[in-house]
Amino acid sequence: MRSRAFDQAASGTTDLFGALASALEARVLAADQAGPGPEHVRLLFDPASVELDRLREGLTIGTRSPRVAELTGPRAALAALRDEVPAAAVLLAVHDAAHRPRVRARILGVVNVTPDSFSDGGHLPTPERAVQHGLELVHRGADLLDVGGESTRPGAAPVSAEEELERVLPVVDALAQETDVPISIDTTKASVARAAMDHGATIVNDVSAGRIDPELLPLVAERDAEVVLMHMRGTPRDMQGGPLYEDVLREVTEHLRQRVAAARAAGVATNRIAVDPGIGFGKRLQDNLALLRRLFELRSLGLPIVIGVSRKSFLGALSGTEDAADRDFETVAATALACAHGADVHRVHDVDAARRALAVAEAIRTGGSAC
C-alpha cells in the first residue's frame, strides 16, 4: 500500500473553514515564531462585529486601522472565552493550527513530460526516459513524485485531455510499479486525474484548486485521494495579465480557505488536503517575496503547505540569471528559507540539492534534528 503524503502532516487539523472563520479571516502573525511571551494574532474584522465587541471583554485590543486590530494576550485568555465567544474559539483554533508540530520536510520531485515547460520542457522525450528520471529522483531523496503532461508556465496554451493522457499515463503506470513513493498527477482535468489514479497515482495536484473542472473535487472525494489546492488567478494563459493585490497574504489565504471549503463540501476529508500559495502564478515579484516572507501565516489554515519555487522567473529577476535551468543555487536559498517559514512539502527539480539544503535548514530550525 503506497503511503499517504499528507495524513501525518495534517494531524490535529481543526475546523477552520466555516462561515465564522471565513468572515473573520483570522491569522497568526509570523512574530509568534519568536518564542515564549505574548501571543499576537491579527484579526481582519467587520468593525460592527458583535463577536469582536465580546472579545474586547477578555483581550487587550489596539486598533491600527479601520479593519485591522492586533489582539494581544496569553493563549489562556482565548481558552477562557472559547465556550462563550465563538470568535475566541476560532482564534484559539487558528493559534493552535499555526503552532502544530511540524513533520520532516518532504520533497516532491518534478517529472515533466511536456515539450514546453519553462525550465525542462522536452528534456524527457520518451516515457522510458521520464520513468528513469523519476526513479533517479527517488534514489536521490524524493519523497513524492509529481508527473505533469500540460505546461502551466505563464502564457501556456491548454492541451486536450487525450494528449495529456498520452503523455502521462505510461509514466504514471510504470513509476507506480517500480517505486512505493506516492505519485501525484499534476492536472486540472478530472478525466486525466481519474485515469492516472486508475494507474497508480494517489495525489491530484491542481493549480486551479478545482475551479477549472467542477468534477475534479468530487472525484478526489470518491477515490479518497489526496489533493493539493493552489492559488492562481485566471488560467496559466492569462494569469500574468496585470495581477494586483492590496494584501497578497490575506487574499491568497481567503482564496485557499474558500477552495478548502469547496473540497470539503465535495466530500474530501480534511486530512487529504494540502494548500499551495502559487508562487509565480499570477503574482508580481513583490507578491512572491511577500508570500515567502510571511508564509508562516498560511499555517493558520491548519493544513500542510506545498511550495514550488524551483527555477522560477522571480529568482532570475533577483539574481540576473536568465536561463531557468541555471537557477538551482537560487532555488536552494529560497527552499531553505521556505522551510524555515513553514513549508512542509517542497516541489523541486534538483532533488539532491534540495535534500541537502533542507537537512541544514531543518537542523537549524529544530536545534539539531535534521530532516
- DSSP string computed for 17-47: -SHHHHHH-EEE-GGGGG-SS-EEEEEE--T
- The DSSP element (H or E) to which 109 belongs, if any, is strand 106-112
In a domain, 58, yes or no: yes
Q: Of 81, 98, 115, which marks where a domain is finished?
A: 98
Most confident of 73-77, 147-151, 155-159, 212-216: 212-216
Task: Check residue 224 and give its pLDDT.
Answer: 96
Return the pLDDT at 2.
54
Domain encompassing residue 229: 106-366
Report how far apart, in Å, the C-alpha atoms of 301 and of each of 4, 93, 305 are.
20, 9, 9
- Domain C-terminal end among 65, 98, 131: 98
Q: Clarify whether residues 110 and 87 are in a common domain.
A: no
* The pLDDT value given to residue 366: 80
Tell me: pLDDT of 32 over 50.
Answer: no
pLDDT at residue 63, as a whole number: 44
Query: In the predicted model, is pLDDT for residue 311 greater than 60?
Result: yes
Identify the residue with better confidence: 201 or 56.
201
pLDDT band at 221 (very low <50, low <70, confident <90, very high): very high
Which residue is it, cell 518534478? 110
pLDDT, tens only, 153-192? 776 678 899 999 999 999 999 999 999 999 999 999 999 9
310, 347 contact by CB (below 8 A): yes
Average pLDDT over every residue of 284-303: 89
Do 281 and 174 fall into the same domain? yes
Do 58 and 173 belong to one domain? Answer: no
Residue 28 clears pLDDT 50, i.e. is over it: no
Question: Is the CB of residue 344 less than 8 Å from the CB of residue 102?
Answer: yes
Return the H-helix or E-strand segment holding 112. strand 106-112
Instruction: Tell me the H-state helices in 179-232.
Output: 190-198, 216-223
Question: What percent of the chain is modeled with pLDDT above 90?
Answer: 51
Q: What is the pLDDT of residue 154?
A: 72
214 plus 355 within the same structural domain: yes
pLDDT at 371: 43
Give the tens place of pLDDT for each residue, 255-276: 999 999 999 999 999 999 999 9
Task: Tell me, yes or no, whether 170 lies in a domain.
Answer: yes
The answer to whether residue 309 scores a pLDDT higher than 50 is yes
The model's confidence at residue 152, banded by pLDDT at 50, 70 and 90, is confident
Judgement on whether residues 51 and 136 belong to the same structural domain of the protein: no
363 against 124, higher pLDDT: 363
Provide the pLDDT confidence category of residue 66 given band limits of 50, 70 and 90.
very low
Pick the last residue of a domain from 80, 98, 116: 98
The closest of 113, 118, 137 to 349, measured between CA atoms, is: 137
Q: What percent of the chain has pLDDT over 70?
A: 76
Known catalytic residues? 312, 347
**pLDDT (average), residues 353-368:** 89
Residue 331 lies in a domain: yes
| DSSP line for 293-352 | HTGGGGGGG-S-BEE--TT-HHHHHHHT---GGG-HHHHHHHHHHHHHTT--EEEES-HH
In the structure grid, which three cell numbers stand for residue 57, read together?
471583554
Average pLDDT, the chain: 82
Residues 231 and 317 in one domain: yes
**What count of residues does the chain have?**
371
Count of structural domains within the chain: 2
